[in-house]
């Protein structure tokens, strides 16, 4: 399966298993979603389970919070993460705090799916990676898969979770992993081992990182598309890197991070999002606080630049092989 | 070279001017409401609950009134309630007022940080609470304490919340008056205005998805009808024909801003319903029978899958916005006395007296009894502590309930907070 098929499968399974699951969003019903993630689901599960909404992100999240308060398990879609901002008040002030402020009387067990990330010539409003806005909010979980296998298992776990989950889907890798070499043809998921997706229901637990590859010389912390870019660059550099796909940013798998950095003594943090105030800053601070006496080089952050996401200069912006390569060289320089 | 903004080549067009609304009366002015069209009680038609939304348009520009100046219930909107029900309504409104007065004083005495009265608006919460089924979910603002009181939520629990004491069911997490009472189908109040509108729609949609029979009702003030959530809520409700009642409590003031800053100079708030394809009703918010009848009409409509209704309750915020507000700084002190729709408690009292079902003496006795009832509840709640006395919930509860299960970072921070307390108070135990 590619990642879209894996997501569609997860939704299909949850709609069938739990009569309280509903899928809503712009174009998700009859049409099946602009990325086809909900294709066929309305026909199979009915119009009151999978339905189109008005173009109002505030309304989509707001009604999902109300549905959650009733006892449903809504899975709203925001067509692009770049358009989640009109729904931000409902997410930050309402969904994230409902359990806390009502002392558990009401909960918001919603899973907000949204395609995110760049690398597709999406320009300013089809490329953003706003995860740090959500990791900063107490009460929200933030999940980002990097493979079809994890996309399905994490989405099922997110839907079953009783806390509100922001589920960002890296649209650059919907159809195949992307190694950062934008001038080469895309390899489809079918040739990748992580496209083996088990049939039926399974969970990938939230809050657990995945060791993409074990290594001794350097720890790479990445998520989403950048897992694949980092892997390709490490292979090219011949560095014995341990690559962690964080998968869940909040709650974070701090044990996996600590264990790896204490072993390798070096840490590279990679994300597409802009640098200042990005999630990489939190990761860097945690590694510094918890692994200081094991560090043999300054922690490196490879990120997007602090600009809006550009159109024509996309590959100057994107944290690609050159930027990663230089950071790895600095990290691996003998002391 | 002329700039794009230059007027030099625009001929002799008149200069544009910006209209900034200004209320009629400011501090020191005499208040005079003779400009306000007050409809005759009983003169408004009552369409069938199944009517098309557009048929309610005349009612959006009128004012549905049942109680006339002599306290008689007249016209097609008269809900013809029995005397027992009317006395219950009167009592709930009077209790709400007595509660407000006591809690206002408690704030001034330093027993809590904050309070908000609903004086003058009691009918807009008490009457709908009586018109709805007890398990219809209500999504209130911070000024519908009358809903909780009518639904029988214990006063002691309300005061525990206001005092943020160790018996507060919300564990001292919420600002006073931001109640949550699931058993009474009363949704958790948020400080963020108007967010409850789309939420109520979602709840109503969920009820419809499940084939339930319960409906939802939401409240907001006229000021927060300017929020985007108002538009989202009404759009979604119309699109999905959601079984929901929207209440706009137009009390003329949003803190210091008069209703003109929410659009009142152009049309009524009820009239907005028509543009969404939603039924709209505009009622005398100080006429408890009119409010009851409108709520009942909207509830019956929603329950019969007739869809949503928007009700504008035309009323007056008799007191300051909150204990942190001094209305003397921005509005005429005479407004309250001159308000042409009077006081909801007084009007229902007159009605019951006119029916021969109540008396001034009975009312005075009830008021005394209610003062004692509230006082006793306050004393009971004070045993659990008042704000700042240290009788709050254990420190660890600060970290519980952020998520269903506490993640490692909150566990660490919880240990830190407890460690800090031990340093500050060496003998401290929880």
CA distances, B287 to each of A253, A334, B134, B138, B343 (Å): 59, 83, 22, 21, 8
Does B46 score more than 80 pLDDT? yes
Provide the CA A257 distance to its chain's centre, in angstroms. Answer: 17
Mean pLDDT, to the nearest integer, of B286-304? 98
Q: Which residues pair with A73 in a beta bridge?
A: A21
Higher pLDDT, B298 or B395: B298
CB contact under 8 A, A102 and B180: yes
CB contact under 8 A, B199 and A62: yes
Mean pLDDT, to the nearest integer, of A157-174? 98
Tens-digit pLDDT profile for residues A122-136: 999 999 999 999 999
In the numeric block, which tokens belong to residue A29? 């019903």
Q: Which residues pair with B181 in a beta bridge?
A: B186
Best probe of the B interface among A57, A63, A157, A162, by most B CBs < 10 A, is: A63
The radius of gyration of chain B from alpha carbons, rounded to an integer in Å, stands at 24
Tens-digit pLDDT profile for residues B185-196: 999 999 999 999
CA distances, A231 to each of A237, A249, B70, B351, B427 (Å): 10, 19, 84, 80, 55
Which residue in A45, A126, A149, A228 is the catalytic one? Answer: A126
Q: What is the pLDDT of residue B10?
A: 82
Q: What is the mean pLDDT of chain A?
A: 97
Q: What is the pLDDT of residue B391?
A: 74
Q: What is the pLDDT of residue B5?
A: 58
Q: What is the pLDDT of residue B6?
A: 57
Query: Model confidence at B4, in pLDDT bands (50, 70, 90)?
Result: low
Best probe of the A interface among B184, B202, B240, by most A CBs < 10 A, is: B202
Classified as helix, coil or strand, B278 is coil
Q: Are B123 and B291 in contact (CB under 8 A)?
A: yes
Classified as helix, coil or strand, A255 is helix
Tens-digit pLDDT profile for residues A176-228: 999 999 999 889 999 999 999 999 999 999 999 999 999 999 999 999 999 99
Residues of B within 8 A of A72 (CB-CB) are 206, 209-210
- Torsion sign across C-alpha atoms B153, B156, B160, B165: negative
Classified as helix, coil or strand, A225 is helix
CB contact under 8 A, A67 and B206: yes
A126 carries an active-site annotation: yes
CA angle B149, B154, B157 (to 5 degrees): 115
Q: In the block, which residue shows the tokens 């195949």?
A: A176
Q: In the block, which residue shows the tokens 């309300």?
A: B158
Minimal Cα–Cα distance from B202 to chain A, Å?
Answer: 4
CA angle A234, A235, A236 (to 5 degrees): 90
CB contact under 8 A, B181 and A251: no
The length of chain B in residues reads 430
Tens-digit pLDDT profile for residues A298-327: 999 999 999 999 999 999 999 999 999 999
- Torsion sign across C-alpha atoms A270, A276, A278, A282: positive
DSSP for residue B97: H
CB contact under 8 A, B195 and A90: yes
Minimal Cα–Cα distance from B189 to chain A, Å?
Answer: 8
| Separation between Cα atoms, residue A193 and residue A179, nearest integer Å | 15
CB contact under 8 A, A63 and B202: yes
In the numeric block, which tokens belong to residue A132? 């740090």
Does B430 score more than 80 pLDDT? no
CB distance from A290 to chain B under 8 Å?
Answer: no
Burial A46-80 (b: 16+ CB within 10 A, else e): eeebbbbbeebbbbbbbbbbbbbbbebbbbbbbbb
CB distance from A106 to chain B under 8 Å?
Answer: yes
**Which residue in A204, A122, A118, A225 sits closest to A158, CA to CA?**
A204
Does B3 score more than 60 pLDDT? no
Tens-digit pLDDT profile for residues B236-293: 999 999 999 999 999 999 999 999 999 999 999 999 999 999 999 999 999 999 999 9
Does B429 score more than 90 pLDDT? no
Q: What is the mean pLDDT of chain B?
A: 96
The shortest CB-CB distance from B209 to any of A48, A68, A99 is to A48
Q: Are A278 and A249 in contact (CB under 8 A)?
A: no
Residues of A within 8 A of B148 (CB-CB) are none
Minimal Cα–Cα distance from B283 to chain A, Å?
Answer: 27
Query: Model confidence at B223, in pLDDT bands (50, 70, 90)?
Result: very high
Does A335 score more than 70 pLDDT? no
């Amino acid at each position: 399966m590619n990642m879209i098929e894996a997501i569609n499968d997860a939704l299909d399974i949850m709609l069938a298993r739990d009569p309280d699951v509903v899928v809503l969003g712009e174009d998700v019903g009859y049409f099946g979603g602009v990325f086809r993630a909900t294709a066929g689901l309305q026909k199979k599960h009915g119009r009151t389970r999978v339905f189109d909404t008005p173009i109002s992100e505030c309304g989509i999240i707001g009604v999902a919070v109300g549905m959650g308060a009733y006892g449903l398990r809504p899975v709203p879609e925001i067509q692009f993460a770049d358009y989640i901002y009109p729904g931000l008040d409902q997410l930050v002030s309402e969904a994230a705090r409902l359990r806390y402020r009502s002392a558990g009387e009401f909960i918001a067990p919603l899973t907000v799916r949204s395609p995110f990330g760049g690398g597709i010539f999406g320009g300013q409003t089809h490329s953003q990676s706003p995860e740090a806005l959500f990791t900063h909010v107490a009460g929200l979980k933030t999940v980002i898969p990097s493979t079809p296998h994890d996309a399905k298992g994490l989405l099922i776990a997110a839907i079953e979770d009783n806390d509100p989950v922001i589920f960002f889907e890296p649209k650059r890798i919907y159809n195949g992993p992307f190694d950062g070499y934008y001038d080469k043809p895309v390899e489809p998921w079918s040739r990748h081992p992580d496209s083996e997706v088990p049939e039926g229901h399974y969970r990938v637990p939230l809050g657990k990182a995945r060791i993409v590859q074990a290594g001794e010389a350097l720890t790479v912390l990445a998520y989403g598309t950048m897992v694949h870019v980092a892997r390709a660059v490490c292979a090219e550099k011949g560095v014995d890197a341990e690559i962690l796909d964080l998968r869940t940013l909040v709650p974070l798998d701090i044990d996996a991070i600590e264990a790896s950095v204490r072993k390798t003594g070096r840490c590279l943090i990679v994300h597409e999002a802009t640098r200042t105030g990005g999630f990489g800053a939190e990761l860097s601070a945690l590694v510094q606080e918890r692994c200081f006496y094991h560090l043999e080089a300054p922690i490196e952050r490879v990120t997007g630049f602090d600009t809006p996401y550009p159109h024509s200069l996309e590959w100057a912006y994107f944290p690609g092989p050159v930027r990663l390569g230089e950071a790895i060289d600095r990290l691996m320089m003998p002391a | 070279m002329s700039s794009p903004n230059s007027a030099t080549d625009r001929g002799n067009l008149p200069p544009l001017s910006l209209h900034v609304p200004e209320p009629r009366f400011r501090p020191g002015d005499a208040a005079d409401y003779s400009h306000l069209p007050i409809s005759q009680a009983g003169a408004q038609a009552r369409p069938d609950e199944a009517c098309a939304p557009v048929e309610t348009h005349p009612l959006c520009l009128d004012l549905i009134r049942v109680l006339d100046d002599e306290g008689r219930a007249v016209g097609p909107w008269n809900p013809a309630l029995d005397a027992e029900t009317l006395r219950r309504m009167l009592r709930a409104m009077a209790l709400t007022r007595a509660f407000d007065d006591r809690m206002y004083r408690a704030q001034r005495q330093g027993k809590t940080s904050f309070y908000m009265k609903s004086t003058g608006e009691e009918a807009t919460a008490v009457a709908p609470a009586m018109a709805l089924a007890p398990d219809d979910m209500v999504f209130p603002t911070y000024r519908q304490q009358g809903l909780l009181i009518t639904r029988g939520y214990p006063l002691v629990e309300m005061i525990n919340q206001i005092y943020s004491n160790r018996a507060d069911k919300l564990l001292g997490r919420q600002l006073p008056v931001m109640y949550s009472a699931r058993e009474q189908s009363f949704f958790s109040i948020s400080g963020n205005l108007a967010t409850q509108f789309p939420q109520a729609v979602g709840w109503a949609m969920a009820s419809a998805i499940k084939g339930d029979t319960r409906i939802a009702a939401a409240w907001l003030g006229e000021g927060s009808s300017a929020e985007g959530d108002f538009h989202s809520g009404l759009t979604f409700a119309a699109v999905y024909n959601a079984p929901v009642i929207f209440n706009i409590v137009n009390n003329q003031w949003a803190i210091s801003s008069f209703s003109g800053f929410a659009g009142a100079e152009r049309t009524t708030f009820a009239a907005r319903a028509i543009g969404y394809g939603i039924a709209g009703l505009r009622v005398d918010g100080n006429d408890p029978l009119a409010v009851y009848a409108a709520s009942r009409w909207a509830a019956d409509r929603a329950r019969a899958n007739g869809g949503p209704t928007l009700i504008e309750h035309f009323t007056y915020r008799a007191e300051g916005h909150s204990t942190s507000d001094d209305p003397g700084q921005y509005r005429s002190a005479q407004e309250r006395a001159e308000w042409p729709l009077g006081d909801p408690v007084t009007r229902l009292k007159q009605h019951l007296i006119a029916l021969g079902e109540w008396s001034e003496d009975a009312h005075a006795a009830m008021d005394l009894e209610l003062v004692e009832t509230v006082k006793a509840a306050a004393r009971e709640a004070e045993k659990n502590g008042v704000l700042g006395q240290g009788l709050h919930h254990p420190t660890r509860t600060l970290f519980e309930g952020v998520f269903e299960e506490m993640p490692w970072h909150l566990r660490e921070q919880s240990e830190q907070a407890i460690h800090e307390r031990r340093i500050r108070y060496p003998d401290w135990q929880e």
